[in-house]
Amino acid sequence: MADVLERGPARPLNEQSTAELVQRASEQISLLIRDELTLAKTELVEKGKHAGIGIGLFGGAGVFVFYGVGALIATAILLLALVLPSWLAALIVTVALFLSAGIMALVGKRQVGRAVPPVPEAAASGLKADVDTVKGAVRARANGHGEGA
């Protein structure tokens, strides 16, 4: 910004014309805006890097959780295999997993059904009521029934 201040005329500010002062202010504002945008861009790039690293770490954690659940399922099968034949233990755990998946799918379907269509119905009906009220007031005023008629 110093270059804009130094580039100005050598005359004192009180001797410059309004046009010169406006031009100088315009140049300074343009430079200030460019500098602020550059700073914002730099900040966003830095925050984007941190967000990318964080998302990658969350993804890695998700992979480990996935394998951990698999190991837990294998543990459940081995635990049941202590009291039942191995094939029956595996079958029981498999059926339990499919039942859990089916229940979650049904609950998820119900939740998605509640969200569709993605229109804020309460806000839309309120807006429609407001528009109808304004239209009614305009019609009443146009027919001579309004205030001051």
User: Where is pLDDT greater, at 8 or 90?
Assistant: 90
Confidence of residue 132 (pLDDT cuts 50, 70, 90): confident
Confirm whether pTM is higher than 0.75: no
42 DSSP 8-state letter: H
- Residue 7 confidence (pLDDT): 56
In 3-state terms the chain splits into helix, strand, coil percentages (rounded to 5) of 85, 0, 15
Mean pLDDT of the chain: 85
Q: Could you state, in order of their start, the residue ranges of all structural domains in the chain?
A: 1-56, 122-149
Peptide bond into 117 cis (omega under 30): yes
pLDDT score for 147: 52
Predicted pLDDT at 1: 45
Counting other chains too, the contacts that 97-100 makes at CB distance below 8 Å and 24 or more residues apart are 97/73
The pLDDT assigned to 58 comes to 94
pLDDT digits (tens, 9 = 90+) for 20-54: 888 888 899 999 999 999 998 999 889 999 999 99
